[in-house]
Structure 1
Amino acid sequence: MAISTESRFFGLDLNQLKADILKTWRRAPQWPPLSWLRPAQMLRLVPAEGAPTVVWESGEPVLKPGREPVFWALELPEHMVLRKTVALPALDPQDCASAAELEVQAISPFAADDLLWGYTELSRSSKAVKLLVVLASRAQTEPYLQAQVAQQLHLQTLKGQSKAESLEQPEVWVFAPERRPVVFQGFGEQARYALGRKRLWWNVAGVALAVLLLAAIAATPTAQLRMRAIEATHAYEGMAAKTADVVAKRDTLIQSADKVAGLSELLAERIDGVQVLSMLTNVLPDDTALQSARIQGSKVTISGLTENASALMQKLSNQEGVKDVRAPSAATRMGGGNKESFTIELGLDAKVFGPKTVVEAAAKPQPVEPVAGAPVGADAPPAPVAPASVPAAAAGAPAAGAIPDSAPRPASRATLGGSTKPRASLGGSVTPPAEAGGKQP
């Protein structure tokens, strides 16, 4: 099995792709937007006839040269040069150089070690490229070049210039139509090309540095905001670490407050059984006897005996804070009796029957009546003042020894009947206690 050495990826030749990228990169400084990255260089041109002039590397003369050029070139006379125009397909500049070399080797009348040649593009279109190829003999041109170099060195010495060593490697030019220079290869043109590449890289580095500085300037506000955010985060974390105990206590306090609020809601919905029993005691008539009373939340279920269960339900419905009065089962009359057995359910309003806090009023001093038998005009002893902690009910009671023993006592009342006389309560009767001295009411 043969192993393929072709570098292909999905049918694409990677070597050719690499070569194309390099060719494109080499042509980049020639593009109009990037041509300023490689500035043109000046040369001192010594023509075949006439005085030396300063020109650009494109062959155009420099009107006002500000400094002495670093490089110089010699123009060969026309009688030493052979010319030929070659038409080629639309090739890249690198391919044109290879094609021109092949054409020179094919048409050269000189030996390989005696051949001097160069080329330039005359025109380029999308279909063809026209080249001008020039040839010369090294044996014929060297005496002329040596004489021109010696003459220029002599002139430089007379002028007192110290850079005469740069004249030892001149470039060799001939001119195509429209004063376009054709440079012979193998002379001092490589030093100019090297300086051009060096300046190009310096300019590219300067542009890259400028782009980086602009990017840094553009990113500075964002970076500052990010640094401030990071500092704020660190400060917040530090403050949170310092106040961890306080935050924990605050959370505990909030939880306690929530529990208190929940407990308050539960207490607000709780029904006070004492108030319910007091209401039932005042509302139930004398002919009613309760057998059971059950309180579940805000719902109260009572059962017992009465002469008229409907009237009892109507009376309960008219009470403040009582709602949803109903009988879960029909009232039944016992055989041979005039009492109805009833079961009544009623709802209570927690705002009316809920637990209330009793604020004890401060006791006020009561005027003391004179004791019977005391002399008129005699100074009565001052009444003792009850302390502030004594309940309001106790504050109104007479002090010990201030009221005679013959003072009447209040008659006791039934707990579920609502009157002072004996009445039925929870299936029985209540007899008031005997008054002082053994008298009955």
Structure 2
Amino acid sequence: MAISTESRFFGLDLNQLKADVLKTWRRAPQWPPLSWLRPAQMLRLVPAEGTPAVVWESGEPVAKPGREPAFWAVELPEHMVLRKTVALPALDPQDCASAAELEVQAISPFAADDLLWGYTELSRSSKAVKLLVVLASRAQTEPYLQAQVAQQLHLQTLKGGSKAESLEQPEVWVFAPERRPVVFQGFGEQARYALGRKRLWWNVGGVALAALLLAAIAATPTAQLRLRAIEAVHAYEGIAAKTADVVAKRETLIQSADKVAGLSELLSERIDGVQVLSMLTNVLPDDTALQSARIQGSKVTISGLTENASALMQKLSNQDGVKDVRAPSAATRIGGGNKENFTIELGLDAKVFGPKSVIEAESGAKPESAPPAVAESAVQGAAPAVPATTPSGASPGAPFAAAPKASVGGGKPGPSLGGTKSGPSLGGSRPPSPPPSAESGGAKP
């Protein structure tokens, strides 16, 4: 089984691809945008007729040469040169060189070791390339070149030049139409080509270095920001590790504060029943008997008997912290009496009638003294009597909380609902107090 040595990948010849890439890169310095990377070089040209002059490698004369050229060339007389124009397809410059060499071998009248030749492009189009091929005999040109070299060495010596050895290997030129030089191969042109390639690579290296510096300058701010961000992250992680306990305590404190705030919000909406009953006790007139009082949130519903329900509603409306006073049903009179049966609903402000804290209680005003009857009961150790039955019109289970000053039945007027003796009782007569003992230290108040 034969082993294939062809370098192919999916039908593509890799060797040919490599050759095409190299050809393209060799032609890159000739492109107009990149031609400045390979600057033209100066030569001292010794023409066949006339005085030597400094020219560019393209053959154009230099107006004001600033320095002595490092290379020089000798022009061959026309009688020593054979010329031929060759038309070829549109080939690459490297392929044109191979085609010119084949053409020279085919038409040369000189022996292989006696042949000197060169070529240049006269014109190029998308379909064809026209070349000028020149031939000469080494045996005929060497005496002429040696004479020119000896003459130039003599002139260089007279001028005191220290680099006369550079003139020992000149380039050999002839000129095509439009003063275009044709260089014969095998003389001093290789040194000039090598220097041109060296300068090209130096320029390419300088451009690449400048591009890298520009990229570094452009990337420096971004790199600095990234390094600062990384440093900040590391610093934050370090601080977070050091303050983990403090942060945990802070979270616990925040949660406790949230709970306290929620509890405060709930407490701010509560109504203190004791304050409500105290307010009703102070506000209700003596001709009013309260039968029931119900507290639901910030709403209080009271019902009872009074002589003027409208005046009572007006009086309640003028109290601090009382709002939205209204009567859900019309007041009615009982029999031929002068009392009106009323039901009144009123809203209370939690800031006024809400529960007071211990600090607020201690910093507040001195509490009012208890009524005399209550004080008397406290001294004698007797509690106010509670009626066995619920008054008519009161809701079962509702707190009978107020101690109004008006009486319903007969007897001496006083803040009782059904008793005969004045005092803060809710119903029934108060049992007689026992005689004061000797330990009480005084007479009955």
Q: Residue 176 of structure 2 corresponds to which residue in structure 1?
A: 176
Check 1:5–1:31 CA distance in 2 against 1; reply closer, same or farther (3 A cut): closer
The question of whether the paired residues in 1 share the 8 Å contact of 2:119 and 2:133 is answered with yes
Provide the rounded CA distance (Å) in 1 between the counterparts of 2:60 and 2:98.
27
Letter in 1 for 2:190: Q
Q: Residue 410 of structure 1 corresponds to which residue in structure 2?
A: 372
Provide the rounded CA distance (Å) in 1 between the counterparts of 2:141 and 2:10.
49
1:26 deviates by 1.9
Check 1:360–1:94 CA distance in 2 against 1; reply closer, same or farther (3 A cut): closer
Provide the rounded CA distance (Å) in 1 between the counterparts of 2:223 and 2:14.
41
Q: Residue 384 of structure 1 corresponds to which residue in structure 2?
A: none
Provide the rounded CA distance (Å) in 2 between the counterparts of 1:319 and 1:361.
23
Letter in 2 for 1:80: M
Q: Residue 132 of structure 2 corresponds to which residue in structure 1?
A: 132
With the length of structure 2 as denominator, give the TM-score of the two structures. 0.67
Root mean square deviation, CA, Å: 5.0
Alignment map for 1:357-372 (pairs within 5 Å): 357-359=360-362
Letter in 2 for 1:429: G
Check 1:147–1:283 CA distance in 2 against 1; reply closer, same or farther (3 A cut): same
Letter in 2 for 1:190: Q
Check 1:63–1:344 CA distance in 2 against 1; reply closer, same or farther (3 A cut): closer
Q: Secondary structure at the match of 1:34?
A: helix
Q: Secondary structure at the match of 2:145?
A: helix
1:166 deviates by 2.3
Q: Secondary structure at the match of 1:207?
A: helix
1:101 deviates by 1.9
The question of whether the paired residues in 2 share the 8 Å contact of 1:172 and 1:184 is answered with yes
Greater alpha carbon shift after TM alignment, 231-240 vs 17-26: 231-240
Q: Secondary structure at the match of 2:361?
A: coil
Check 1:196–1:360 CA distance in 2 against 1; reply closer, same or farther (3 A cut): closer
Q: Residue 267 of structure 1 corresponds to which residue in structure 2?
A: 267
Q: Residue 122 of structure 1 corresponds to which residue in structure 2?
A: 122
| 1:7 counterpart = 2:18 | no
Q: Deviations over 1:332-386 (max 9, x none)?
A: xxxxxxxxxxx99987543343113435568xxxxxxxxxxxxxxxxxxxxxxxx
How many residue pairs are counted as aligned between the two chains?
A: 390
1:190 deviates by 1.2
Q: Residue 63 of structure 2 corresponds to which residue in structure 1?
A: 63
Alignment map for 1:183-202 (pairs within 5 Å): 183-202=183-202
Alignment map for 1:223-372 (pairs within 5 Å): 223-227=223-227, 250-278=250-278, 297-298=297-298, 349-356=349-356, 357-359=360-362
Check 1:76–1:213 CA distance in 2 against 1; reply closer, same or farther (3 A cut): same
Q: Deviations over 1:193-212 (max 9, x none)?
A: 11001001111222222333
Letter in 1 for 2:22: L
Q: Deviations over 1:157-205 (max 9, x none)?
A: 4444332332332211111112211011122211111100100111122
Q: Secondary structure at the match of 2:126?
A: coil
The question of whether the paired residues in 2 share the 8 Å contact of 1:175 and 1:181 is answered with yes
The question of whether the paired residues in 1 share the 8 Å contact of 2:73 and 2:171 is answered with yes
Alignment map for 1:355-434 (pairs within 5 Å): 355-356=355-356, 357-359=360-362, 392-393=367-368, 410-412=372-374, 416-419=403-406, 421=414, 423=416, 429=428, 431=430, 434=433
Provide the rounded CA distance (Å) in 2 between the counterparts of 1:160 and 1:361.
121
1:277 deviates by 4.7
Check 1:44–1:433 CA distance in 2 against 1; reply closer, same or farther (3 A cut): farther
Check 1:423–1:152 CA distance in 2 against 1; reply closer, same or farther (3 A cut): same
Provide the rounded CA distance (Å) in 2 between the counterparts of 1:168 and 1:8.
54
1:261 deviates by 2.2
Greater alpha carbon shift after TM alignment, 125-134 vs 215-224: 215-224
Provide the rounded CA distance (Å) in 2 between the counterparts of 1:300 and 1:277.
10
Check 1:296–1:99 CA distance in 2 against 1; reply closer, same or farther (3 A cut): farther
Alignment map for 1:38-53 (pairs within 5 Å): 38-53=38-53
The question of whether the paired residues in 1 share the 8 Å contact of 2:171 and 2:184 is answered with yes
Q: Which runs of 5+ in 2 are unaligned?
A: 329-342, 376-383, 385-401, 407-412, 419-424, 437-442
